[in-house]
Amino acid sequence: MNEKYLIPKPPYNIKRIWSKICMVVSRQSLVMPSFRRRMLKLGGVKINGKCFIGSNVQFDGMFPNLIEIGSGCVITTGTCILSHFYNTSDRRFYAGKVVIGKNVFIGMNTLIVNAVNIGDGAIIGAGSIVNRDIPAGEIWGGNPARFIKKLHWRLLKSVNAKLLNSVFMLVTRFSGLQTLSHFSNDYIGVGALKLGSPIFHE
C-alpha cells in the first residue's frame, strides 16, 4: 500500500478547472482512444507508453497527478480510479498514489478506492472494488477484490502470429497500438499477453 497524507480542502483554481474539462472530454464515447490518452495527460494523469482506456473511465478530479498507468494496460468502460479517500476512523480525507503496472487488465465498472499498487500483468474482474495491493501476474475479483488464482505460464508452440494479430486487430486499430510483431517463449495460458514484455509494442 502506498503512503497516504492528510489533505486540506483543495482550491478551486484555473488548473483544477482545466483538469476537470480534460477529464470530461476523455470520458466521451466518440473520442478516439489516442486523443483520450492525450486529454488525460493534459489533465494530469501519468500515462507511461501506449495503453487502451475505454469510454466513461473516471479518474480522480482532485489529484489526477497521483495516478500512474503503465504501458500496455487495458482499462475498460465504467472504471473509476480515485487517489483521495475518506478515513472512517478520524473522519478526514487522505490522498495517496495509485500505481497500475504494465499489461494490467481492469474489467468494466471496477472501482479503485485506495492508494494501491497493481502489479504487472494482473487481471481484475468486472465490478470489483480494489482496496489493497494486487501482486503481479494474479487474477483478482469481487467486492472487496480477493485473490482468485495465479496466471499459469505455458509455451505456445503452435500459435500463428497472423491469427493472434487478427484477434487484437479491433483493439489495436482504434487505440493506436501496434499488433503483435514477434513472440518469445513464455506466454500466459489465458491469452497472448506476455508478462515480461508488453505485446503492445511502442
The residues assigned a catalytic role are 84
Cα distances (Å, whole numbers) of residue 58 to 53, 78, 122, 128: 10, 7, 20, 15
Q: Report the alpha-carbon distance of residue 7 to residue 5 in Å, rounded.
A: 6
Residues 87-115 as b or e (16 or more Cβ within 10 Å = b): eeeeeebbbbbbbbbbbbbbbeebbbbbb
> Do 68 and 100 contact (CB within 8 A), yes or no?
yes
Residue with grid cell 470489483, as numbered in its chain = 128
Q: Are strands 84-87 and 92-96 parallel, antiparallel or unpaired?
A: antiparallel
The helix/strand/coil state of 196 is: coil
Q: Pick from 86, 29, 38: which is nearest to 62 by CA?
A: 86
